[in-house]
Amino acid sequence: MSERFHDASRRAVVGGLAGGLLAAIDGPASAQSGGSGGAASSLENPQTAYPQPPFPRQQQEWPGLGRRMQPQPDTGEGSYRGSGRLQGRRALVTGGDSGIGRAAVIAFAREGADVAISYLPAEQPDAEDVARIVREAGRKAVLLPGDIREEAFCDRLVSDAVRELGGLDILVNNAARQHALESITELTTELLDWTMKTNIYAMVWITRAAVPHLPPGAAIINTTSVVAYQPPENLLDYATTKGAIMVFTKALAKQLAGKGIRVNGVAPGPIWTPLQVTGGQPPDRIPQFGAGTPLERPGQPAELAPLYVLLASSESSYSTGQIFGAVGGGGGP
- What distances in angstroms separate CA 281 from CA 270, 293, 294, 317, 326, one per listed residue? 10, 16, 19, 37, 19
CA angle 32, 24, 321 (to 5 degrees): 110
C-alpha–C-alpha distance, residues 164 and 136, integer Å: 18
Contact 126, 65 (CB under 8 A): yes
Confirm whether 308 is a catalytic residue: no
The residue type of 304 is L
Tally the residues of the chain: 333
C-alpha–C-alpha distance, residues 128 and 136, integer Å: 12
C-alpha–C-alpha distance, residues 5 and 77, integer Å: 13
Q: Looking at 50, 229, 238, 308, which residue is catalytic?
A: 238
CA angle 222, 226, 229 (to 5 degrees): 105
The residues annotated with a catalytic role in the active site are 238
